Amino acid sequence: MVCDRRMAIIVEEPGVDGLGEVVDVLRQWQHDEAPMQLHPGDLGWFWQLGAEATAAAVRTWRRDGQIVAIGLLDAPNLRRLTTTPDDEKNAELAQQLVTDLSDPHRGALPAGAVAVEAPNGSLVQHLLSEGGWKIDEAWTPLRRDLTKPVEDPGVRIEVIVPERAHVLTAVHRASFGSEKFTDERWQAMAGGVPFVDAR
C-alpha cells in the first residue's frame, strides 16, 4: 500500500484578521529579478475600500498550512495572482490554480468574461494559455535602482499626514480624472497594514 502524504492545496479567503499574514508573505516574495507580480502596494492601494473589502477580494492558496499563492480581485473580473518564487514552475500548484480560476463555483473568479494576471513565464500562465485563455496586452514594468542616492529632481517633496490628506487626494483626482479617491479613502488606506512599511 502506498500513502500519498502530500497535502491538498486549499483556496480560502483570509478574513480581516489574516490580512497581516498575507501582506507579510507578499513582502517576503519580492525581489528585483521577480517577474511582474502582485505586490504589497497593490493590497495597500486596494485598502482604501476598507479592510473588509480587501479581505473579501483576496484569496490565498495554502499547502501544508503555508501560503503558496495569493490573488487579489483587483476589478470585478480581474484576479491578479502570484506564487511563492519557489513554486512558479510547480505543476501541482499551477494545475490547482488553473482549476480554481476556471470554475466560478470555487470562488476565485466570477462567471462570465474574466481575466487573470499571472507572473510572466510562470507555469500557471502557460497552462491558462494551453486551456484556451487568450493573452491580453502586456504590461511594461518600470524599475528604478534606489541603492544609490537619487539626484535632486528640483521639486518639493512632502510627506502627507492625515491633516493634509486633502492635498494628495485633490492632486490624484486632478491627475487621473477620477472622483473616487476621496479623503476618506486615503484615511482608510493609511490605516491599513501595508501603509506603515510603505511610507
Q: Do 95 and 173 belong to one domain?
A: no
Number of structural domains found in the chain: 2
Q: Please name the helix (run of DSSP H) or strand (run of DSSP E) that holds residue 72, with its range, or none.
A: strand 66-75
Domain span at 180: 162-193
Q: Do 32 and 122 belong to one domain?
A: yes
How far is 17 from 77, CA to CA, in rounded Å?
Answer: 25
Q: Do 79 and 168 belong to one domain?
A: no
Q: Is 148 a domain residue? A: no
Taking only Cα atoms into account, the Rg of the chain, rounded to an integer number of angstroms, comes to: 19
Q: Which of 41, 20, 37, 38 is nearest to 199 (CA)?
A: 41
The answer to whether residue 4 scores a pLDDT higher than 50 is no
Of all residues in the chain, the percent with pLDDT exceeding 90 is: 65
Q: Are 178 and 160 in contact (CB under 8 A)?
A: no
How far is C-alpha 166 from the geometric centre of its chain's CA atoms?
Answer: 26
pTM over 0.85: yes
Confidence grade of residue 56 (pLDDT, cut at 50, 70, 90): very high
The CATH number of whichever domain residue 19 belongs to comes to 3.40.630
Grid coordinates given for 104: 466560478
22 vs 153: which has the higher pLDDT: 22
| Tens-digit pLDDT profile for residues 149-193 | 989 989 988 888 899 999 999 999 999 988 999 999 999 999 998
Q: Is 5 a domain residue? A: no
Which residue stretches of 77-164 are H helix? 91-102, 123-130
Q: What is the pLDDT of residue 60?
A: 97
